Structure 1
Amino acid sequence: MFVSKYETPENLDKLIEKIETDTQIKFSKSYLNFLKRFNVVEFDGNYNIKSGKESISIETIFGFSKQEEEDIESVSRFYRNRIPSSYLPVASINSEDIVCINSQGKIYHWNHEINDLYFNKEPNSYQPQNEKLSLIAESFDDFLKLIFLSKETQPEERYDVYMDSTVPFPDKVLGIFFENPKLFFSNNTGNRVQIYLKKLELSEKGQELLTLLRKENLL
């Protein structure tokens, strides 16, 4: 199941020591052992984790990489002040959510819709952050045991999240459409535009894009 994407850095111990010093979070033994053996692990769309009664897609277990989106230090820096300081990001799940670990080695789910900072109506101010993350597992080893292959699919049968009208667009994708609204209509294969319009209604930022499309007389 676990395949290393990159070799483990020769200076791994120094890299870990730096992150532990910066974050004041001590790496658990099971997490250290995983990093030393696998470093970065990337999953295809068929792998999920069991979290309570639901299954959540897992994308990447972070390690040390030149790619910022999969490098522990870079991801930690990106989410600073968004993820509570007592947690360290260790994996990406559910498109925009994060798996975190604390100094006790316990694993938690940072849900961007629940635990992120939200703007108030007043300029440059935030609503209070919900810092109560949901527990996933008591240890990193227990977390790894929750990862499972959901199903085998042929390439032509692969699930396309962008064609699922029940799943909102990630903020990064919406940002592209905000910069170039006409791009939203560039591909209408399989009635794609109509599905995209339904997806926009599922999030506040998506509804803002709908307003922009109407303002630009594109709808």
Structure 2
Amino acid sequence: MSYSFIPNTIRYASNGYIRDLEEKIPSKLPKEYVSFLVKRGVGILDGSYDIQGTDLEIHNFLTFPENQRDTLSLDFYIGAFSNRVPSDCIPIAYDSGGNVFCIGLKGENRGAVYYCDREFEYDEEDETEETRAQKFTKVSNSFSDFLSRLEKYTV
């Protein structure tokens, strides 16, 4: 499967931005995701994409902030969703309903992509594996697998 961005919307992450982001979260980003941000770049998708094998769709990837008011940036979403996603994940994309896809940062979940319903609050102290599974759906074991399963939505 493939995906494409609207021409002239693609921006590439600098090594400085990656370093600053890793200090902010604080964790190292999975290498596959860093490669995507630095080498492939992020732009506005040329439509919505279904994720094969699920009933989910992705509307867009989160970008890099152009200014402090950029509400579609990684930085904004990391802050806005801090009480809705576990500390071992960060938002990387969203669907048309405002729900987010997150990437795991640590342990056995590192690099895995999850779907997170934005309606749920997250409390790490009261969380169990059962309640976490209700709020977060594992979409893929790796970022590259996630990308390979994107298929442009057609009517």
Query: Which 4+ residue blocks in structure 1 deviate beyond 6 angstroms?
Result: none
Match of 2:32 in 1: 30
Q: Which has the larger radius of gyration?
A: 1
The one-letter amino acid paired with 2:149 is: L
1:56 Cα deviation after fit: 1.8
Amino acid at match of 2:79: R
1:109 aligned partner: 115
Q: What is the aligned counterpart of 2:20 among 3, 18, 21?
A: 18
Alignment partner of 1:81 out of 83, 97, 103? 83
User: Counterpart of 2:12 in structure 1: which amino acid?
Assistant: T
AA aligned to 1:131 is: R
With over 3 angstroms needed to count, the CA separation of the structure-2 counterparts of 1:39 and 1:143, relative to structure 1, is same
- The residue number in structure 1 matching 2:60 is 60
Tell whether the 8 Å contact from 2:10 to 2:44 is kept in structure 1 after alignment. no
- Equivalent positions of 1:1-219 (< 5 A) are 1-3=3-5, 5-9=9-13, 12-50=14-52, 52=53, 54-66=54-66, 68-103=70-105, 104-113=110-119, 116-117=120-121, 130-132=131-133, 133-151=136-154
- When normalised by structure 2's length, the TM-score is 0.75
Structure 2 letter corresponding to 1:135: K
Q: Which has the higher helix share?
A: 1
Q: Secondary structure at the match of 1:55?
A: coil
Q: Secondary structure at the match of 2:94?
A: strand
Query: Aligned residue pairs: how many?
Result: 137
Q: Pairwise CA RMSD of aligned residues?
A: 2.3
How far apart in 2 are the matches of 1:41 and 1:49?
18
